[in-house]
Each structure stands twice: as C-alpha cells, then as structure tokens.
C-alpha cells in the first residue's frame, strides 16, 4: 500500500513516493524506497508485492532507440512500448508465474505501475494497456488523495512549469496525512527530456 505520483512539465517529469510498507496484517514495516532506477527508466509499482518485485527487479527494460528520444508525438512512443516493451514485461511475468490469464486476457493481479523515461510518463494497466499520465497522475492506496491535490494545484497554479515540483510534494504530504498506509519520508526523481535522471533535493521545493 503506497502513494506514488508524477507531474509533467515541458522538459521533465517528476516522480515522488512516500516510503511506507504495510503487510497483509496491516503492520507497518520500516520505510523502504519504492522508485527503482534502471538505466534511463524510473519504475514504480503498487499492489501485490511479488508482482511489484518482478516489474521492478526482474524485467530488463530495453534502451530507448535514438530516433525515439526526440519524438514529440506520444503515439509513436505508445507504438514502441506496445510492440517492444510490453512483450518483454509479459514474458517476465509469465516466467515468474505472476501473471493471471482469465477469459483469455493476461492480467496483473491487483497491481498497477508507472514508467518514466526522457521526461515522459506512462501508466500500464492491469491488462498491460498503455495510457498517458500527462500532466499528472498518482497510484496506490493514497493515489486518489494525491490526485485530487494535484488536480487542484494544476488548475489554480499561476505557473505549473515552475512550481509543479512543489505541488507534487504537497500532494504526497496530503496522502501521508490522510491515508493510513502512506508514511514518510518522501523522496523523488526528475527525469529530463534528454534522458538524464537526478534525485530531487530541497532546492527543488522552493
């Protein structure tokens, strides 16, 4: 149970997470980082723990082709993800026996995840469908709280390009305050359009 959120501006995508871990008996475990970096990718998942482990630690995410890195059309990205990446994810889940197949449709059991690269974010559904997350999104037990906070901030902000990092941090604070399964500390990463990734620091929140 968790809260993970993203906010997108013109040249970057910010991803933040709280660090709470709760077991099936609702015990709170020590804090744990939930955003996994793999090359130019940031990978987060919420839901069944083994599914999350496979998505974040077992799947080997391919390098983004050079010709795609500067592509502005998101639908070209969707095509590449659907043809190249989703089959890799599906195979890894099948190999690890963590993929449900009901009525002929492969599904992630009780899980959802987000992928970020080159300043872009993609939501992958339980049936491995791809959706856009721009300009903001949130998942997990506290996701609806964070999403409401982000929506309000986006529609009232005087300059989303400048203050979206502050607003995503506030969204995580809101989820921690009101979701029993979300706990500090908060941390995050910034994925730039050129593929570089760096961790957020206090200067980003000013």
Residue 23 has what DSSP assignment? -
Q: What is the pLDDT of residues 100-155, one digit of tens each?
A: 777 667 777 777 899 999 999 999 988 889 998 999 999 999 999 999 999 999 99
**Could you tell me the two tokens for 95?**
């190999």
Q: 6-10, 17-21, 95-99, 127-131: which has the minimum mean pLDDT?
A: 95-99
The DSSP annotation for 35-70 comes to -EEETTEEEEEEESHHHHHIIIII--PPPPPHHHHT
Torsion sign, CA atoms 50, 34, 56, 117: positive
In this prediction the pTM is: 0.90
* Under 8 Å between Cβ of 168 and 6: yes
Q: Which of 1, 4, 2 is nearest to 138 (CA)?
A: 4
Q: What is the pLDDT of residues 153-205, one digit of tens each?
A: 999 999 999 999 999 999 999 999 999 889 999 999 999 999 999 999 877 77
Q: Cβ neighbours of residue 153 under 8 Å, at least 6 residues apart?
A: 160, 163, 164, 167, 170, 171
Torsion sign, CA atoms 191, 30, 172, 46: positive
**Could you tell me the two tokens for 178?**
């009101």
Residue 196 has what DSSP assignment? -
Q: What distances in angstroms separate CA 66 from CA 70, 79, 101, one per listed residue?
A: 8, 15, 35
* Residue 90: Cβ-neighbour burial (10 angstroms; 0-12, 13-18, 19+): middle
Specify the 3-state DSSP secondary structure of 84.
Answer: helix
């Amino acid at each position: 149970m968790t809260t993970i959120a993203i906010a997108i501006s013109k040249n970057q995508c910010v991803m933040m997470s709280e660090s709470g871990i709760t077991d099936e008996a609702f015990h709170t475990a020590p804090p744990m980082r939930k955003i996994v970096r793999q090359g130019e990718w940031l990978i987060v998942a919420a839901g069944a723990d083994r599914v999350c482990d496979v998505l974040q630690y077992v799947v080997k995410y391919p390098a983004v082709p050079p010709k795609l890195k500067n592509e502005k059309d998101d639908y070209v990205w969707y095509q590449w993800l659907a043809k190249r990446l989703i089959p890799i994810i599906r195979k890894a889940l099948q190999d690890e026996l963590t993929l449900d197949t009901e009525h002929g449709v492969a599904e992630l059991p009780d899980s959802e995840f987000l992928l970020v690269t080159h300043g872009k974010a993609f939501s992958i559904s339980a049936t491995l469908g791809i959706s856009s997350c721009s300009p903001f999104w949130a998942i997990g037990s506290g996701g609806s709280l964070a999403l409401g906070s982000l929506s309000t901030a986006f529609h009232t902000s005087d300059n989303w390009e400048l203050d979206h990092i502050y607003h995503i941090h506030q969204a995580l604070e809101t989820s921690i305050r009101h979701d029993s399964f979300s706990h500090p500390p908060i941390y995050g990463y910034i994925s730039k359009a050129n593929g570089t990734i760096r961790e957020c620091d206090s200067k980003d929140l000013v």
